[in-house]
Amino acid sequence: MDAPMLDGNAVAGLLQEVFAVEMTTAIGTCNTCGDRGGRSAPLFRGAGVVMRCPHCDSVLVVISKEDTRVWIGFVGVRTLQVTVR
């Protein structure tokens, strides 16, 4: 069975709980191909959340949540650009 696929914006609420910046405007750069399309990254949900590069399909971010803890692995993100105020 294939995992349900969503848009990368679907994880914004979870990231907003952890980071004190607006994550829907964050721009991630893929470590594999250099693509800068974080918000349009396909998101796959299963036991956790996996975001993949929309260009080369490499894993960008892996997120798991349990009660009051969140584990985030930026395994394939070279840089993450966020706006601070």
Give the model confidence (pLDDT) of 35-74 as tens digits: 986 556 777 788 788 989 989 999 999 999 888 898 999 9
Task: Give the model's confidence band at 4: pLDDT under 50 very low, under 70 low, under 90 confident, else very high.
Answer: low
Q: How many domains does the chain have?
A: 1
In a domain, 48, yes or no: yes
pLDDT at 3: 65
**Structural domain span for residue 51:** 5-80
pLDDT at 32: 96
Distance, in Å, from the CA atom of 48 to the CA atom of 56, rounded to the nearest integer, reads 21
In a domain, 27, yes or no: yes
In a domain, 22, yes or no: yes
In a domain, 23, yes or no: yes
Task: Give the model's confidence band at 9: pLDDT under 50 very low, under 70 low, under 90 confident, else very high.
Answer: confident
At 65 the three-state DSSP class reads strand
